[in-house]
Structure 1
Amino acid sequence: MTAPPTVGVVVLAWQAEPYLADCVDSVLGSTGVDVRLVLVDNGCRPEDLAAIRSDERLRLLRPGRNTGFAGGCNLGVAELDTDYVALVNSDCVLRPDTLAQLVTEAARPGVGPVMAGLRLAEPPHLVNSAGNPVHLVGLSWAGEMNSAETRTAPYDVTGASGACTLLRRSVWTDLGGFDEEYFAYLEDTELSLRAWRRGLAVRCVPAAIALHHYEFSRNAHKMYLLERNRLLMVATLWSSRALLLLAPLLVTTEVLLAAYALSAGWGRQKARGWAWMWRHRDHVTRRRRALQAEQSAPDAMWMGRLTPALDPQVIGPAPLTRIANVFFRAYWAVVRRLL
């Protein structure tokens, strides 16, 4: 008999985690795989940790500080020696066959990260993310939110959501995991784009279902991290030629986002993002040099995965977004030929 593939799962716990025990139970209840779980305590409430049942396959890791999503995942994966590694949000509940289905797809030649079919926990027939689109200027969002999923076969996506993603351990090692400077948000997007830039497909397996107790909050600190990390991602992944060709769009976007941030009450956090990029310019330079050197796919191929259209439902204000999309599409139709 062939032994089932080994899958190491990393779950992070921070502050209040009302769904943590359900998440852990669902991971340990996975079928068709030999599962190990590392739970990284980034400062979780003791009562939520106490609700987790003891299991020899579960290891609790206490770094003694909040390492963020990027740092916590790196720490957790470092404790595993499994064939595959998976990242699962603490508010996700997996179906028993979810990990096995993800393994089947991730095992295919030329495939990098694969994400589960993320459904909203309530109501479970609606999509939370069917893959995360990435815009020319680096903005990203949960794709097809609140739509009904009708697909069953795996399909390519630009960005795999870190809420439930699995990949071969060898791919994780080759990519070097996450850049911990991201701390939280867009580190999964960067990893996905790096896979595409190395000629690896990124996919969603809609039949591998993960129910996500999703809640989006536009607090100032989250908006700071999203904007700062967007700048870091574009500055390190986009080639010099792409940056030059997209410069008018990038500059215009910065002006508009700064105005929006001021009107929405997080203008100071937007400015902090620019300041961080300047203070950490040595890291940005080193990271850019490393990521430009690793690219094997031409810009025309991997940047063809980017979208010129913003989603008016998630990137507001909607009337301005629709107007901007007309300009974005026209500009991209010309620039794409020059990459």
Structure 2
Amino acid sequence: MSCRCAAPAGCPCCSASRTPPPAGSTAPSGTNRTTSGRDSTGCASPSIAVPSTRRAPCCATCSTAASGSRTSCRRRRVTPCWRPSSRGSFAISTACARGSRAGPGAGLDRRAARPLRWTTMSDAARAVASVHVLTWNSAELVEDAVASVLAQTAGPLDVLVCDNASADGTPWRVARRFGERVRVVCYERNTGYAEGHNRAIALSDAPFVVVLNPDVRLAPTFIERALAAFDDPRVGIVAGRLMRADGVTVDSTGQFLARARRPIDRGFGRPLDPARDVAGPVLGACGAAAVYRRAMIDDIADDGAFFDEDYFAYFEDLEVAWRAWRAGWKAVHVPDAEAIHLRGGGAPRGRLGMMFDRPTPVLAHIVKNRYLAMLRHDRPAALLRDLPHVAAREVAQWALILGTRPAVVRELWRVREAFARAWHKRRADRARGGRWGAWRRDVPPRGMWRPVPGGAG
């Protein structure tokens, strides 16, 4: 089906191919919905606002106005996107596909995101926290997740639903149900967890950032209780109490690093013992529901990117926690900040067994990302000390890979440049300083290697 709306460039309310508008039609100056559900442009989507036609230059080096098709300027390719004007209405502009980033909020033009619906800028500016729900074909899950965010006792909140090119109508369902209370941002491709959340961080400026999976349901006081832990200026990460859907089994009460160099979600798969699940230090938070301080994000970001985009998905939450620890930031567990994580059910299995339940490309990401984190952050003396644990893990892992998934080797070879980049980051970290002084060169203390006394499970 072709869209026949008169928006000047690529329809913002459907992904269908453009056809010329009806003869005599003109581009609207703003959204004008009729009672039949069609706007004055003839667009059939009743819930997605059509942008105005005000244009803006594509970049500082090229004064060419934005056009409807993909164009090029003297130095960078550009692609159209939608951005809000200062009055909260829509305006057409362009987004540079490549560009520099001076910080998490800078260089947004290279991110090429297309927001479908925006809250007013004044609402976003006064938000106490920005909540980012990253989706990919999550239509059956995301509405309940967003509803739990909008029911929070803390506020106001800047809520973004960022969609990784879903094919099941995820962004449209969110926009139709929640309207102006949520910003819906459609990415042009599946960016993965790391880049997807980095783009969302660049679109917001609240002092705290909450990252969520679409299969998470927050208790109404989750954000309020989590934000209370940031009274300590050194706290950069807060991990809540994540439970399974049965309300009895623990999903995570904070993240740690095993001596075999794999992430541990404390209490994973075990019944909750409230008497033992007490507030205290952890290494990091499970990326399904984590709360970060914006000042920490700015402090430890790599060229403006908080999550390492070489990771795509898996292990990126632990790598961020490891990096934050080296920079002198703290992470704490707040058991009163409760949420449900609808992770796949079934009896708990060993983590190595769970890895090999994944498709081959996903398994390759898990293996690669563990090595990337070790290459950047680990130390030879610490590896030597924990060699029996690391060696046992390597033998078991590679026996399974070579015996059942040899294609993983080919996948790792294809991304070999990521290892070179990790080595360069390691060298850059040696002289790196931040808010709390020079970065640590050691690995986390022994209390961070495994669940500490007093934790759940």
Q: Could you say which TM-score interval applies, normalised by the shorter chain?
A: 0.7 to 0.9
CA distance in 1, matches of 2:371, 2:415: 8
CA distance in 1, matches of 2:201, 2:342: 24
Q: Judging changes above 3 Å, is the alpha-carbon distance between structure 1 residues 222 and 28 closer, same or farther for their aligned structure 2 residues?
A: same
Question: SS at the partner of 2:165?
Answer: strand
Structure 2: runs of 5+ lacking an equivalent: 1-124, 346-353, 433-437, 453-457
Question: SS at the partner of 2:132?
Answer: strand
1:180 corresponds to: 309
* Counterpart residue type for residue 75 of structure 1: R
2:395 corresponds to: 255
1:291 corresponds, among 429, 448, 455, to: 429
1:227 corresponds to: 367
- More displaced, 112-121 or 239-248? 239-248
Question: SS at the partner of 1:82?
Answer: coil
Question: SS at the partner of 2:285?
Answer: coil
CA distance in 1, matches of 2:414, 2:300: 24
- Post-superposition shift, 1:242? 3.0
* Counterpart residue type for residue 266 of structure 1: R
CA distance in 1, matches of 2:180, 2:138: 24
1:328 corresponds to: none
* Counterpart residue type for residue 297 of structure 1: R
2:281 corresponds to: 156
CA distance in 2, matches of 1:197, 1:89: 26
CA distance in 1, matches of 2:271, 2:410: 35
Identity %: 29
Question: SS at the partner of 1:18?
Answer: helix
Q: Judging changes above 3 Å, is the alpha-carbon distance between structure 1 residues 160 and 60 closer, same or farther for their aligned structure 2 residues?
A: same
- Post-superposition shift, 1:103? 0.7
Q: Judging changes above 3 Å, is the alpha-carbon distance between structure 1 residues 28 and 224 closer, same or farther for their aligned structure 2 residues?
A: same
Q: Judging changes above 3 Å, is the alpha-carbon distance between structure 1 residues 244 and 274 closer, same or farther for their aligned structure 2 residues?
A: farther
Structure 1: runs of 5+ lacking an equivalent: 310-339
- Post-superposition shift, 1:21? 0.3
* Counterpart residue type for residue 226 of structure 2: L
Computing the radius of gyration from Cα coordinates, the structure with the larger value is: 2
2:41 corresponds to: none
- More displaced, 279-288 or 56-65? 279-288
User: Does residue 75 of the first structure (1) align with residue 199 of the second (2)?
Assistant: yes
* Counterpart residue type for residue 397 of structure 2: L
- Contact 1:239–1:292 (CA<8 Å) still a contact in 2? no
* Structure that is richer in helix per residue: 1
1:317 corresponds to: none
- Post-superposition shift, 1:247? 5.5
TM-score (norm 2): 0.61
1:282 corresponds to: 420
TM-score (norm 1): 0.81
CA distance in 1, matches of 2:412, 2:343: 29
2:48 corresponds to: none
- Post-superposition shift, 1:88? 0.8
- Contact 2:429–2:439 (CA<8 Å) still a contact in 1? no
Taking only aligned residues, the RMSD between alpha carbons, in angstroms, comes to 2.6
* Counterpart residue type for residue 142 of structure 1: D
* Higher-RCO chain (CA-CA 8 Å, sequence separation at least 6): 1
- Contact 1:236–1:292 (CA<8 Å) still a contact in 2? no
- Contact 1:17–1:45 (CA<8 Å) still a contact in 2? no
